[in-house]
Amino acid sequence: MKPSLFGYRAPTTLDDAIKILASDADAAVLAGGQSLLPAMNFRAANPTLLVDIQHVDGLRGVTVEDHRIAVRAMTRHRELELHPEVQRTHPLIAEAMAHVAHVPIRNRGTVVGSLCHADPSAEMPLILVLLGGTVIAQGPLGAREIAAEDFFQSFLTTTRRPDEIIVEARFPLLPPGAGWAFDEVTRRHGDYALVGLGCTLSVDGQGRAKNLRLAACGIADRPVRLKAAEAILTGTTLQSGDLNAAAAASTAAVTQSDEANASASYRRRALTALIHRIVAKAAARTRPRMVQ
Amino acid sequence: MKRMAKPSIPERSSDPRIDVSLTVNGETIHRAVSVRMLLSDFLRHELGLTGTHVGCEHGVCGCCTVLIDGKAGRSCLTLAVQANGTEIRTIESVAEADGTLHPIQQAFKECHALQCGYCTPGMVMNILARFEEPYPLDLSDAGVRDMLSGNLCRCTGYINIIAAVRRAAELLGRT
Amino acid sequence: MSTRTFGARIERNIDPKLLRGEGAFVDDIPLTGVLHSAFLRSPHARAGIKRLDAAAARRHPGVVAVYTCDDIGALDMAMPLLIPHPCMTDPQTQRPLARGDVHYVGQTIAMVVAVDRYTAEDAASLIEVDYEPLPVEMDLEKALQTGAPPVHPKVPNNLAAHFVQTCGTPDEAFARAEHITKIKVQVDRSTAAPMECRSIAANWDAVSGELTVWDGTQAPISVRGGLASVFQLDEDKVRVIAPDVGGGFGQKVLFFYPDELLVPMAAMQLGRPVKYIEDRRENFIGSSQERTQIHVIELAALKTGEVIGLRDIFLHDTGAFIPYGIAVAQVASTSIAGPYRIPNIFVEFKAVYTPTVQVTPYRGCGRPQACFAIERAMDQLASELGLDRFEVRRRNFVTEKEFPYPREGLLFADGLKVTLDSGQYAKALGMAAAELGAADFPAEQAKALAEGRYLGLGLACYVEGTGLGPYEGGHVKIHPITGKVYVNTGLTSQGQGHDTVFAQIVADQLGVRPEDVIVVEGDTKAFDWGVATFASRAAVVSGNAIHKTAMVVRQKTLLAAANMLEVNIDDVELRDSAAWVKGSNRFVPLAAVATASNPLRYAFNEAAQAATQFAPASKHDGPPLAEGEAPGLEATEYFSPSQSTWAYGVHGAIVEVDPGLCTVKIRKYVCIHDCGNMINPTIVEGQVLGGIAQGIGGALYERLDYQPDGNLANASLMDFLMPYATEIPNISVLHLETPSPLNPLGVKGVGEAGCIAVGAVVASGVEDALRALGPITFRHVPLTPSMISDALEQIGH
């Protein structure tokens, strides 16, 4: 399985990269290649030009700022996962990243690349949506910031324009005392999630859930916030009745039809189980601790 | 079967070629490669280092694992041109020059952790990379399995490979 | 050093080479000027080829040749039917390149030969084909109906074979039964998926007229014979080498695959070496698959649980072609009664054509399916009669005093009557129960349930007919210069460690270290009488042949050494690579004995000189080489087994099922197995563990997902789920060694043992775990979370 022929450029400045990308409608950005190369080897993707951005100035690095973590385009998954500041300030990210494929893939693949690939079962798009993060797109007309919920459009499709390069992803930090949890069910270790779920919340002065966010991957053509469930659970003490209601209200969000690896009814059942477990786990991590 | 006249065959394909310079097992290499040549093919056929094996060409089986700038990576998911300027290590760099096995290889032998040997170089390179990282090793049942997840083996059932990882840690004085 | 090595856990000779990456798999072998092949494969399951135009492909730069069915002369033929059987009606095999019709997605239509694989793939995509798609029927039961779309127009109803076997009087048994249990079970299609895909390279030497083929095959001698026949070459002019091979598991025993004919043809035609290295996608859509069977099995029992009759009627999916005959279905049929007495058996199968990749043996070869059927039925019988699962089995086991236990009317794959020769079935069951903690399990299960956790115990027994003929051979030679021992046999290894196992057999006979025994297999130039590696037969058949041969060489060595040492032959012993006078320090090195036993020797080295210090190796009047004698210490012998020898085992597991996520975790897996005397227990365990992992794959993960239109939806390792290390639990393997009475070494085969019982164990365990929630049964593997979810929904959970 060898790729079909393509042109190849390896620019060293972002301006050059954007110009080259704009020059060919069937060009593709090559960062880590862990999603693109398999598709090319299968000849499912046949870009006529590859713009390799690994040598572009200014695209490396992780910056931990006051309210967010900024991840530049060529940051490999593993760099973010093992970053001491990120592990300390945002353990949700490390917890989610341990599920992303396997270490050798995470050594080469990039976080931004995973976001741009937009597989609806992938973990990092889910985390971006859960946290309400953004990406920075840079194109011939300049830069723009795109909110996560506006970025992931449908199956393998984002709102990045063909002549734009996503240069950065921004993951908001959680407020002090927030609880968080992520888990997924897969067929094998490291596979894409059949259903993945993340939850963040804080607790108010009366011990009730506030700012509760719940997002899932694998159940639709993109990661989705479970807003009905959020509305049901916010302001409650997360009793099992509340969780049952939240789960019942979420099954409609499972729009992914039957697949060989998972039927829709199975996804609904798994989502229900995960809602119970993940919300409880997040609640157990709040400070002060939620009394349930 | 009727013999054809010897056909006129070009030396190589008409793919555009790009110059690459990289280090492979400590040796500096300069070549002109087809732009689309996979690193796995470059190592195996251009350089004759056939110890790195190809099992799937979609990044799942791990047979093609090499070290790219010190980190385990799939050579089937890397273009040779992407490897320009990098340091590559393959299985051929692991044993001593006189053939003495590295402790990881020795552990595999002691533990019967290979049968057909096809997945073995990728396994060894993956384990080697982890051992050479400056992070503690998790040698629990779950930890070793996690380390090996991402390398498929169809012969051994993994049990002996798990034992070999622990034996290698023992031989290398790692806990 | 005189430690007996048979039975010892010694490390493998071949490992350092493989560990250093110095293995020589087909694609590793450097061939100057080699050309590369790629295939155009059918995108339709059934279609007529209306037009094919390869002009653009032929013109493409770097392309040397493009072959279609019109370009391959006499090779445009249906490829051989390897194992005929009268129960097949007009058996169909495929052509190397399709003519007229295609019969499965992946079928080869054209072959491109080019300067590299990239170019060859480019060119293949330039071949223009107009297809006229035809209707398909993927369902086995529907495919047999009148009017179902035929895979082969001349085989209406898609019935490839129909076979009935009867043992005893099953109708009578069912008539007097006090209880009848009847269930339907299904096993889904999987594939061997060895880590090395198939591979072949060929070189034609026009000067010597010799064709050399490197083929990642399990059957080099048989392939050689086939190639010589097809190309009308003398067998001596065809050399087939199976070099290092990265796993076979049955997939690589079939021949011919189209490339096995076309690549040698291209090499001969083009005057350049040619190779074809199958890629993973092609392995999924071109190389053999196996497992799909649907069984309706009935047990006729007494209230005591004694099973007096068995009726099994099954459908076997043979794919689009049936080149290996009915072997898989036949092995399933003859394994259906497992280790149980069941004196009255009716087993009937229909092999059905479907427009899919052809089905030929994959490790287990029908035994996993048969085991799944009988073991699920035994569990159901126990449940219906209110008996313990272990007890029902115990009551039905063939007992030790009943061996040999024949099943008249059931003919195994070798055409011989099934006869269980030896075993300790009850003891194995007891060991399994103990290792599982079965006695304490009900309490453990109840405690877990109180905590909201669902634990279950799964159990299954199996038998494995192994070591079938017709024969294999051994050649042993002590080398005069080094004193090392060279061993050859006809079959070959794909990871089973023959180089070490056979060395152990010889080492004991000749008193040498196993490291000094060099085993060379898989080269028809080194040895060319034999069959192949399959059906768990190498240790039994080649092992015994090599043993016989080594004994002959041993005798020659003792005799020659006795002459050289001038003592009686009874006073000589072999150890440490030398012949010793017992109880003394006098010895002669084996190298010297070998040298001396070759009368035409010059003293060109130390070993030869040393030989002259002793008396002549041969004591007789007359010419240096006596009548009937051969020079050197060398022999060739053969072993032809009288019948298969039946290994067996018991597997059990504790599983935990999460009804929320519908996941199954195997907490503990126990395997008791008996393959007779073990030559190398470590290698035996390796085979068993590897088989169990494949069994876990088949139990929970591996299912080829054919769509209603015949397309294979998961033709990649991303979507066809093989277990990683994270999916394999700790496994406890315990050995019983009941020697086989059927061969001098007392060995039985073990290559397929691990995978046979796992599906039944897992289904049994999951059923036991979820019993607390309601009456759920699991009779279909692989057992996926969606299936568990559906079952829970059906009982309202």
For every residue of C515-573, DSSP letters joined together read GGEEEEESBTTT------S-TT-IIIIIHHHHHHHHHHHHHHHHHHHHHHHTS-GGGEE
B-C C-beta contacts closer than 8 Å: 222
| Boundary (domain end) residue, out of C621, C639, C657 | C639
| Boundary (domain end) residue, out of C639, C663, C689 | C639
The pLDDT of A223-239, averaged and rounded, is 97
| C52 close contact with B: CB closer than 8 A | no
Q: Which chains touch B (3 or more CB pairs under 8 A)?
A: A, C
Q: How far is C146 from chain A (nearest CA, A)?
A: 30
The pLDDT of C739-766, averaged and rounded, is 96
Report the pLDDT value the prediction gives residue B2, as an integer from 0 to 100. 61
Helix pair angle (C498-510, C543-565), 10° resolution: 30
Domain ranges of chain A: 7-52, 62-172, 179-284
- CATH assignment of the domain containing C83: 3.90.1170.50
Chain B hits for A2, CB-CB cut-off 8 Å, are: 36, 38, 57
The pLDDT of C400-425, averaged and rounded, is 94
pLDDT digit string, tens, across residues C693-735: 999 999 999 999 999 999 999 999 999 999 999 999 999 999 9
Phi/psi-derived region of residue C333, left when phi > 0, alpha when psi is between -120 and 50, beta in every other case = alpha
Is domain A7-52 in CATH 3.10.580.10, yes or no? no
Report the pLDDT value the prediction gives residue A80, as an integer from 0 to 100. 97
- Which residue, among C538, C544, C768, C736, has the nearest Cα to C640 in the 3D structure? C544
Are the C-beta atoms of residues C138 and C145 closer than 8 Å to each other?
no
Q: At residue C405, what is the residue type? A: Y
Burial of C693 (0-12, 13-18, 19+ CB in 10 A): buried
Q: What percent of chain C has pLDDT above 90?
A: 93
Q: Select from B66, B74, B130 the residue whose CB has the most chain A CBs within 10 Å, as the one to mutate to test that interface.
A: B74
A182 vs A93: CA distance, rounded Å: 9
Q: How far is C193 from chain B (nearest CA, A)?
A: 8
Tell if the CB–CB gap between B13 and C115 is shorter than 8 Å: yes
Tell if the CB–CB gap between B117 and C724 is shorter than 8 Å: no
The pLDDT of A36-50, averaged and rounded, is 98
Of how many residues is chain B composed? 175
Q: At residue C392, what is the residue type? A: V
Among C24, C280, C728, select the one facing B58 at the smallest CB separation.
C280
| Boundary (domain end) residue, out of C589, C618, C639 | C639
- Which residue, among C636, C599, C494, C618, has the nearest Cα to C195 in the 3D structure? C494
Q: Are residues C327 and C215 in the same domain?
A: no
Q: Is A142 helix (H, G, I), strand (E, B) or coil?
A: strand
Fold agreement (A7-52, A179-284) = no
- What are residue C676's phi and psi, to 5 degrees? 70, -155
C290 vs C297: CA distance, rounded Å: 20
The answer to whether residue C765 sits within a structural domain is yes
pLDDT digit string, tens, across residues C628-641: 888 899 999 999 99
Q: Which chains touch A (3 or more CB pairs under 8 A)?
A: B, C
Chain B hits for A43, CB-CB cut-off 8 Å, are: none
The pLDDT of B57-74, averaged and rounded, is 98
Q: How far is B9 from chain C (nearest CA, A)?
A: 6
- Closest chain B CA to residue A78: B71
Report the pLDDT value the prediction gives residue C2, as an integer from 0 to 100. 47
Among C281, C721, C726, select the one facing A42 at the smallest CB separation.
C281
For every residue of C101-129, DSSP letters joined together read EE-STT-EEEEEEESSHHHHHHHHTT-EE
Phi/psi-derived region of residue A106, left when phi > 0, alpha when psi is between -120 and 50, beta in every other case = alpha
Question: With bands split at pLDDT 50, 70 and 90, how would you rate the model's confidence at C156?
Answer: confident
| C207 close contact with B: CB closer than 8 A | no
Q: Are residues C90 and C223 in the same domain?
A: yes
Q: Which residues 6+ apart lie within 8 Å of C3 measured at CB?
A: none
Domains by residue range for chain B, with CATH = 17-91 (3.10.20.30), 103-171 (1.10.150.120)
Q: What percent of chain C has pLDDT above 70?
A: 98
Tell me how far CA of residue C494 lies from CA of C14, C127, C217, C260, C426, in angstroms: 12, 36, 9, 18, 34
The pLDDT of C206-219, averaged and rounded, is 96
C700 beta partners? none
Q: At residue B32, what is the residue type? A: A
Tell if the CB–CB gap between B72 and A104 is shorter than 8 Å: yes
Could you say which residues from 156 to 195 on chain C have a Cβ atom under 8 Å away from some Cβ of chain B?
Answer: 192-195
Among B16, B57, B149, select the one facing A102 at the smallest CB separation.
B149
Question: With bands split at pLDDT 50, 70 and 90, how would you rate the model's confidence at C596?
Answer: confident
Are the C-beta atoms of residues A94 and A87 closer than 8 Å to each other?
yes
Report the pLDDT value the prediction gives residue A202, as an integer from 0 to 100. 97
**CATH architecture for the domain at A62-172:** 2-Layer Sandwich (3.30)
Q: How many domains, chain C?
A: 3
Report the pLDDT value the prediction gives residue A288, as an integer from 0 to 100. 85
Question: In B147-174, which positions are buried (b, 16+ CB within 10 angstroms) versus exposed (e)?
Answer: bbbbbbbbbbbbbbbbbbbbbbbeeeee
How many beta carbons lie within 10 A of that of residue C615, not counting itself? 14
To which H or E segment does residue A71 belong?
Answer: strand A68-72
Report the pLDDT value the prediction gives residue C648, as an integer from 0 to 100. 97
Report the pLDDT value the prediction gives residue C602, as an integer from 0 to 100. 63
Helices (H) and strands (E) in chain C, counts: 21, 31
Q: Select from A1, A4, A119 the residue whose CB has the most chain C CBs within 10 Å, as the one to mutate to test that interface.
A: A1
Give, in degrees to the nearest 5, the angle at Cα C299 between C297 and C302: 170
Tell if the CB–CB gap between A266 and C727 is shorter than 8 Å: no
Question: With bands split at pLDDT 50, 70 and 90, how would you rate the model's confidence at C3?
Answer: low
Q: Is the pLDDT of residue C42 over 50?
A: yes
Q: How far is C701 from chain A (nearest CA, A)?
A: 8
Whether the ipTM is more than 0.90: the answer is yes
C332 vs C649: CA distance, rounded Å: 17
A265 vs C34: CA distance, rounded Å: 53
The pLDDT of A141-147, averaged and rounded, is 97
Report the pLDDT value the prediction gives residue A292, as an integer from 0 to 100. 62
The pLDDT of B108-130, averaged and rounded, is 98
Q: Select from C17, C19, C278 the residue whose CB has the most chain B CBs within 10 Å, as the one to mutate to test that interface.
A: C19
C210 beta partners? C205
Q: Is C218 helix (H, G, I), strand (E, B) or coil?
A: coil
Give, in degrees to the nearest 5, the angle at Cα C636 between C635 and C638: 140
Helices (H) and strands (E) in chain B, counts: 5, 5
C579 vs C510: CA distance, rounded Å: 9
C400 vs C125: CA distance, rounded Å: 62
Burial of B119 (0-12, 13-18, 19+ CB in 10 A): buried
Q: How far is A41 from chain B (nearest CA, A)?
A: 7
Domain that holds residue C604: 469-639
Burial of C734 (0-12, 13-18, 19+ CB in 10 A): middle
Q: Are residues C677 and C778 in the same domain?
A: yes
Q: Are residues C685 and C774 in the same domain?
A: yes
- Closest chain C CA to residue A184: C661
- CATH assignment of the domain containing C625: 3.30.365.10
Q: How far is A37 from chain C (nearest CA, A)?
A: 14
Helix pair angle (C785-794, A264-284), 10° resolution: 100
Among B18, B58, B150, select the one facing A102 at the smallest CB separation.
B150
Sign of the Cα pseudo-torsion (C360, C364, C367, C373, in order): negative
Q: Are residues C713 and C751 in the same domain?
A: yes
Are the C-beta atoms of residues A270 and C660 closer than 8 Å to each other?
yes
C291 vs B172: CA distance, rounded Å: 44
Helix pair angle (A264-284, A240-250), 10° resolution: 140
Burial of C313 (0-12, 13-18, 19+ CB in 10 A): middle
pLDDT digit string, tens, across residues C499-528: 999 999 999 999 999 999 999 999 999 999
Report the pLDDT value the prediction gives residue C600, as an integer from 0 to 100. 62
Q: How far is A21 from chain B (nearest CA, A)?
A: 17
Q: Which residues 6+ apart lie within 8 Å of C21 measured at CB?
A: B49, B50, B51, B52, B90, B91, B92, B94, B121
The answer to whether residue C141 sits within a structural domain is no
The pLDDT of A279-283, averaged and rounded, is 96
Q: What percent of chain A has pLDDT above 70?
A: 99
The answer to whether residue C209 sits within a structural domain is yes
Question: With bands split at pLDDT 50, 70 and 90, how would you rate the model's confidence at B3?
Answer: low
DSSP category for residue C144: T
Residues of A engaging C, defined by a Cβ cutoff of 8 Å: 1-5, 38, 42-43, 185, 187-191, 194, 260-263, 265-266, 269-270, 272-274, 276-277
Is domain A179-284 in CATH 3.30.390.50, yes or no? yes
Q: Are residues C435 and C395 in the same domain?
A: yes
Tell if the CB–CB gap between C721 and A188 is shorter than 8 Å: yes
Burial of A32 (0-12, 13-18, 19+ CB in 10 A): buried
The answer to whether residue C158 sits within a structural domain is no
For strand A49-52 and strand A7-9, is the pairing parallel, antiparallel, or unpaired? parallel
Q: Are residues C658 and C693 in the same domain?
A: yes
Question: With bands split at pLDDT 50, 70 and 90, how would you rate the model's confidence at C1?
Answer: very low
A204 vs C602: CA distance, rounded Å: 99
Q: Are residues C552 and C434 in the same domain?
A: no
Q: Are residues C582 and C715 in the same domain?
A: no
Tell if the CB–CB gap between B13 and C495 is shorter than 8 Å: no
Are the C-beta atoms of residues C250 and C60 closer than 8 Å to each other?
no
pLDDT digit string, tens, across residues A159-201: 999 999 999 999 999 999 999 999 999 999 999 999 999 999 9
The answer to whether residue C629 sits within a structural domain is yes
The answer to whether residue C18 sits within a structural domain is no
Chain B hits for A105, CB-CB cut-off 8 Å, are: 59, 74, 77, 150
The answer to whether residue C723 sits within a structural domain is yes
C340 vs C375: CA distance, rounded Å: 11
The answer to whether residue C178 sits within a structural domain is no
pLDDT digit string, tens, across residues C653-695: 999 999 999 999 999 999 999 999 999 999 999 999 999 999 9
